[in-house]
Amino acid sequence: MNIHEHQAKAVLAEFGVAVPRGYAAFTVDEAVEAAKKLGTPVFVVKSQIHAGGRGKGRFEGLGPDAKGGVRVVKTVDEVKANAEEMLGRVLVTHQTGEKGKQVNRLYIEEGAAIARELYLSLLVDRETSRVSVVASTEGGMDIEEVAHATPEKIITFSIDPATGVFPHHARHLASALNLKGALAKEAAVLLGQLYEAFMAKDMAMLEINPLIVTEDEHLRVLDAKVSFDSNALYRHPEIVELRDTSEED
Ligand code: ADP
Ligand code: MG
């Protein structure tokens, strides 16, 4: 079972993870309201569908030169125009199949100044019952592509749930992502927060792609995809509630 990006970010924020500010919008008016509330110099209008590859996706019925499912704009008027174009339209990405998915909600988020895009995911290794951490400096691309083209750029290690996160895990992560000094410390804090969220919510997979280094040298979770084991759901009515509001779109 999956939840939307904005819901995943809200769950992570509960655990102290730094995510950009943003508001979900189901209508053009709500998108405009969201942009006004944000009041930032750059807005990102993000299609909320249960599939990745939105940025490089294509909307049906728009020309090949039209922008994809994630749009960076600078004014409230542009948020409005893009929301009008995107809401109700079918977005086709390499993960949706040819039929695509209709965009019924948007996430209006503050724009981040990106210096580097990294990849980080946590998943349950069923064979060992450990949590595998997968990290790469090659963020913003499909991890499958990276695995195919440059497998040496993917670093994995695992965490034993019996003992949890140790400082050597954090050091391993920082070195895998080529983060030093204050950024390495942020990576250590982030790993602890993500691991705590992962365990507390019985996640099966948590993928952050990209995790970014901002121009002012901080880590930010820019995209988050969470899936849950259906067995875990009865312990988490709050997640079942999210599912009930997100299953249809
Ligand atoms: P998807 O993986 O479905 O394409 P992402 O959320 O990863 O969607 O967005 C695609 C790309 O858009 C990111 O790799 C990043 O470069 C850019 N992007 C996404 N959110 C923001 C943001 N808040 N600020 C600036 N750029 C963003
Ligand atoms: Mg992404």
List the 43-47 sheet strands across, edge first.
Answer: 22-25, 106-110, 43-47, 70-73
Query: Tens place of pLDDT for every residue, the chain, 249 residues?
Result: 889 999 999 999 999 999 999 999 999 999 999 999 999 999 999 999 999 999 999 999 998 899 999 999 999 999 999 999 999 999 999 999 999 999 999 999 999 999 999 999 999 998 898 999 999 999 999 999 999 999 999 999 999 999 999 999 999 999 999 999 999 999 999 999 999 999 999 999 999 999 999 999 999 999 999 999 877 787 888 887 777 666 555
Query: What secondary structure does DSSP assign to 83-97, as a single string?
Result: HHHHTT-EEE-TTT-
**Cβ < 5 A residues, ion ligand 2:** 209, 223
Asked if 119 is an active-site residue, the reply is yes
pTM for the model: 0.95
The answer, yes or no, to whether any atom of ligand 1 lies below 6 A from the CB of 139, is: no
Helix (H) or strand (E) holding 114: strand 114-125
